[in-house]
């Protein structure tokens, strides 16, 4: 599935980048970030950080101006680990398609920039793992199909490769009908679930 998603995106962006000229004053590229995410709120117990990654195309409108616009449409593997013993739920893995439109401020007389704004996500996959098991015990775990939140990045621009780090914080409750019947700790309380994710990586 990962190849089906990312290979067409890479081919598309490569073609667009090759065609960029002075008549197209915007920057198109691909970002690839390592992420650390977790799930916050009252519904899930003993959350711990989980490593993942994010990749996909981005577009910066008029990057040479002081104020510009940063947009991206990326695939993001995130979720959370949990410390609930050998018989409790130990990991939730999710895959989202994220889209964001962020005002970007290019700091004058430097190669640095800051972006901040809203993002929206569509949930493609969600899985629950128990104890040390490698295969998921439950798929489609009762999360909402969408997510909304705030994203912010700090950019250090290079001639070919730029450095980027930042994060995303969900603002809505992802809990649609989470209830892991028969698994510890007890769920099905209708409590809050929100994701937070920190990213660091490269933009080409």
Q: Give the pTM.
A: 0.85
200: left (phi over 0), alpha (psi -120 to 50) or beta: beta
pLDDT at residue 15, rounded to an integer:
47
- Phi, psi angles (nearest 5°) of residue 6: -90, -30
CA-CA distance, 159 to 68, in Å (whole number)? 18
Domain that holds residue 110: 2-203
State the SS3 of the chain.
CHHHHHHHHHHHHHHHHHCCCCCCCCEEEEEEEEEEEEEECCCCCCEECEEEEEEEEEEEECCCCCEEEEEEEEEEEEEEEECCCCCEEEEEEEEEEEEEEEEEEECCCCCEEEEEEEEEEEEEEEEEEECCCCCCCEECCCECCEEEEEEEEEEECCCCCEEEEEEEEECCCCECCCCCCCCECCCCCCCCCEEEEEEEEEEC
Specify whether the CB–CB gap between 121 and 148 falls below 8 A. yes
The Cα angle at residue 85 between residues 173 and 50, in degrees rounded to 5: 50
Number of domains within the chain: 1
CA distance 204 to 43: 39
- What is the rounded distance in angstroms from the CA atom of residue 79 to the CA atom of residue 89? 13
pLDDT for position 85: 87
The domain that contains 41 carries what CATH number? 2.40.160.20
Average pLDDT, consecutive stretches of 10 residues, N- to C-terminus, the chain (204 residues): 48 48 78 97 96 96 94 97 92 97 96 97 96 93 96 94 96 96 92 97 95
Q: Measure the CA–CA gap between 77 and 118, rounded to whole angstroms.
A: 19
Smallest CA-to-CA distance from 113 within 155, 66, 59, 58 is with 155
């Amino acid at each position: 599935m990962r190849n089906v998603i990312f290979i067409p995106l890479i081919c598309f962006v490569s073609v667009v980048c090759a065609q960029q000229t002075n008549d197209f004053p915007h920057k198109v590229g691909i970002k690839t970030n390592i992420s650390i995410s977790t799930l916050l709120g009252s519904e899930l117990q003993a959350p711990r950080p989980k490593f993942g990654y994010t990749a996909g195309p981005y577009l910066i409108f008029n990057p040479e101006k002081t104020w510009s616009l940063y947009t991206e449409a990326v695939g993001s593997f995130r979720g959370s680990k949990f410390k609930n013993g050998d018989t409790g739920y130990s990991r939730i893995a999710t895959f989202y398609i994220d889209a964001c439109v962020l005002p970007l401020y290019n700091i004058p007389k430097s190669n640095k920039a800051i972006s901040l704004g809203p993002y929206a996500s569509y949930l493609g996959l969600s899985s629950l793992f128990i104890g040390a098991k490698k295969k998921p015990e439950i798929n489609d775990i009762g999360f909402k199909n969408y997510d909304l939140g705030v994203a912010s990045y700090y950019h250090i621009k290079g001639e070919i490769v730029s450095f980027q780090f930042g994060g995303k914080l969900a603002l809505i409750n992802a809990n649609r009908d989470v209830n892991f019947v028969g698994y510890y700790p007890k769920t099905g309380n209708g409590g809050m679930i929100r994701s937070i994710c920190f990213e660091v990586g490269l933009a080409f």
